[in-house]
Structure 1
Amino acid sequence: MIIPLNIPVHEFFNDEELVAFSLANPELSIERDEEGQLFINMTPTFAISSSNNSELITELGIWNRKHKAGRVLESNGGFFLADSSMRVPDVAWIKLERWNALSMSEKKSFPHLAPDFIIELKSETDSLADLQSKMNKWIENGVRLAWLICTDQQLTYIFEPGKPTYTLKFEETLSGGIVLNQFSVRLSDILEF
């Protein structure tokens, strides 16, 4: 269950205070939208969602280890975005040159950076419309490729800057395109649904 707290964060939490609040509440998954509203997830992930997320991270991690192209981050890594939001994707990937440009203090916090690639995995309690809106926000803030994976529909919504959103069925091969060169996966081979 995600609880939206209608707290104008710009009045109560600057970025450093939001980091401190997150550190003081490690059991919570906290996000902030561009309007300053906090979203707090207090429910643990169901086993199937956790397993599917692990499979996605593993696939990306194997590709990344082979190509040494960047860094893979799991579902606890947050990012401050240009629109003043702080978002946490289920999976993120940052190109190596951009990762190396971060200072160690940025790496030990939520960097002011949009990942190059993100995945959101829709759970049973998520609203598709809300997640699609969130995906568009990721793209508007600089993400170059984003996948919204919906196991209930067995569809992946693909978002890229300047292109209309399109879908692929789980039996079809997803490609990382120019963002994740030579990365491809067929979700029907790795996910349970």
Structure 2
Amino acid sequence: MEQELRTIHPPRFREFDDDFFFALCQANEMTKLERDANGNIILMPPTGSETGRYNAEIAIEIGIWNRRMKLGYVFDSSTGFKLPNSAVRSPDVAWLSRQRWDTIPETDRQGFAPLCPDFVIEIRSKSDDLKELKEKMEEYRNNSCRLGWLIDRAGKQVLIYRENGSIEIKQGLEINLSGEDVLQDFTVQIEL
């Protein structure tokens, strides 16, 4: 029900196309919006300060690794990606290999990059529904994401989504995570 209250549905016989949605996002830059594969626009309320701080700390760790390795690019939570299923999603943290980024024409880089990141992180805030976040993680994986972490601080767990279809659940107050073969030689210990 909560998701329904944050969803704007397109008119019955009309879709919000890519140009309209991008213009809508630009005209409302203080409002975070996503679009699902059915063309519905989802209002994403801002996170609380604690979640934002936590998100930034993880993004910094990945950014430091990325500067050292020079294998790709790190994106923050305000970046939209147009997935192959037509959804436009903004993961809390995303990483894309240099090789895949270089295939995107410069004009497409100015809008929502037309691909799914190689790696995504979603961090559950108190207002997030865990079921909806799990569905979003499946959507990323179904659209070619190679590795994803769903960090559920309330549940004291991290769900690791791999491109082979497996989901590993790690539980505890401190969890060691690895970038595996996607973020080579990246490891981080997170506190839940």
Report the secondary structure of 2:22's partner residue.
Answer: helix
Hey, what's the Cα distance between the residues in 2 that align with 1:130 and 1:166? 18
- Separation in structure 2 between the aligned mates of residue 45 and residue 105 of structure 1, nearest angstrom: 30
What residue identity is the alignment partner of 1:33? Answer: D
* Per-residue deviation, 1:94: 0.3
- Aligned in 2, Cα 1:23/1:152: closer, same or farther, shift over 3 Å? same
- The correspondence for 2:18, drawn from 15, 20, 30, is 15
1:16-44, Cα deviation, whole Å (9 max, x unpaired): 11111111110111111111111012x33
1:163 deviates by 2.9
Structure 1 position 156, deviation (Å): 0.7
The one-letter amino acid of 1:181's match is: Q
TM-score norm. by structure 2 comes to 0.92
Please say if residues 32 and 46 of structure 2, whose CA atoms lie closer than 8 Å, have aligned partners that are also in contact.
no
1:69 pairs, out of 57, 68, 71, with: 71
TM-score, structure 1 normalization = 0.92
For 1:154, the equivalent position in structure 2 comes to 156
* Cα distance in structure 2, aligned partners of 1:25 and 1:163: 36
Q: Secondary structure at the match of 2:164?
A: coil
- Aligned counterpart, 1:95: 97
CA deviation profile, 1:166-188 (whole Å, cap 9, x unmatched)? 11135231111101100011102
Q: Separation in 2 of the partners of 1:70 and 1:9?
A: 40
- Following TM superposition, by how much is the alpha carbon of 1:136 offset from its aligned partner in structure 2, in angstroms? 0.1
> What is the aligned counterpart of 1:50 among 24, 47, 52?
52
Q: Name the structure 2 match of 1:25.
A: 28
The alpha-carbon distance between structure 1 residues 18 and 186, as it changes in their structure 2 partners (threshold 3 A), is same
Give the conservation status (yes or no) of the 8 Å contact 2:9–2:41.
yes
Asked which structure has the greater RCO (Cα within 8 Å, sep 6+), the reply is 1
3-state SS, counterpart of residue 118 of structure 1: strand
Q: Which amino acid aligns with 2:28?
A: N
- Alignment-derived partner of residue 179 in structure 1: 182
Give me the whole-angstrom Cα distance separating, in 2, the residues matched to 1:6 and 1:92.
27
SS of alignment partner, residue 166 of structure 2: coil
Structure 2 spans left out of the alignment, 5+ residues: none
Q: Considering only aligned residues, what root-mean-square deviation do their CA atoms show, in Å?
A: 1.6
Say which of 115, 118, 136 aligns to 1:116: 118
**CA separation in 2, counterparts of 1:50 and 1:6?**
28
What letter matches 1:183 in structure 2?
F
Aligned residues: 188
Structure 1 outlier segments of 4+, above 4 Å: none
The one-character-per-residue Cα deviations of 1:97-128 (angstroms, maximum 9, x if unpaired) are 11122222122110111100000000000000
SS of the residue 1:62 aligns to: helix
Matched, 1:35 2:38: yes
Same amino acid, percent of matched pairs: 34
